[in-house]
Structure formats: structure tokens, C-alpha cells
């Protein structure tokens, strides 16, 4: 799969977000968790990648099956409205 720069930036942004699951990234972009890890390793500085991996490894919110809530989803009141991978106009 060939990803353009905008898609790569969005995947990196989603991977950094605590509450965006790897399953959500797979659903939107077709990349499995290991492929996201490989992309992050390739696109980030080594120190940034290590910081991200340390942050993500124990995080239950990055995996759908480990979440404590089953229905609905958490949404921060400060989060911008996003639809189809683009920020909606106000």
C-alpha cells in the first residue's frame, strides 16, 4: 500500500493519541499494529520512536479489547470535529 505524506502524518498523529486504537488505524488505513510500529520507526527520529514505544506499550486504550468501556467513545471537549480524515469547517 502506497501512502502519501498527508496520510503518513495522520497515522503518526493517530498513533500518538492515547485513545485512538490500533484497530481504528487499521480500519481507516488498512495498517495492522506491527505495520504502524514499522512506519513510526521509519518516519521518526530514533529518540522520538523510543519515547512513543515506551508510552504505548502499557497503554490499555490503544487496544480495543483492553478498554474498560464497551459502548460509546471518549471525546475530549477540546477535540476538533473530524470526519473522513479531514477537519470539518466551522
pLDDT at 83 over 70: no
C-beta separation of 60 from 50 below 8 A: no
Residues 16, 14: Cα–Cα separation, whole Å? 5
Whole-model pTM? Answer: 0.66
Q: What does the pLDDT look like over 42-74, one tens digit per residue?
A: 999 999 999 999 888 876 666 666 555 555 555
Question: pLDDT exceeding 90 applies to what percent of the chain?
Answer: 42
Q: What does the pLDDT look like over 6-19, one tens digit per residue?
A: 999 999 999 998 88
| Nearest by Cα to 61 from 16, 27, 12 | 16
Contacts of 37 (CB under 8 A, 6+ apart): 53
Amino acid at each position: 500500500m502506497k501512502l502519501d505524506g498527508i496520510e503518513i502524518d495522520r497515522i503518526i498523529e493517530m498513533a500518538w493519541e492515547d485513545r485512538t486504537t490500533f484497530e481504528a488505524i487499521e480500519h481507516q488505513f488498512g495498517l495492522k499494529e506491527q505495520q504502524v510500529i514499522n512506519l513510526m520507526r521509519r518516519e521518526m527520529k530514533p529518540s522520538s520512536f523510543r519515547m512513543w514505544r515506551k508510552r504505548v506499550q502499557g497503554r490499555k486504550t490503544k487496544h480495543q479489547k483492553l478498554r474498560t468501556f464497551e459502548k460509546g467513545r471518549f471525546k475530549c471537549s477540546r477535540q476538533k470535529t473530524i470526519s473522513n480524515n479531514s477537519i470539518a469547517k466551522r
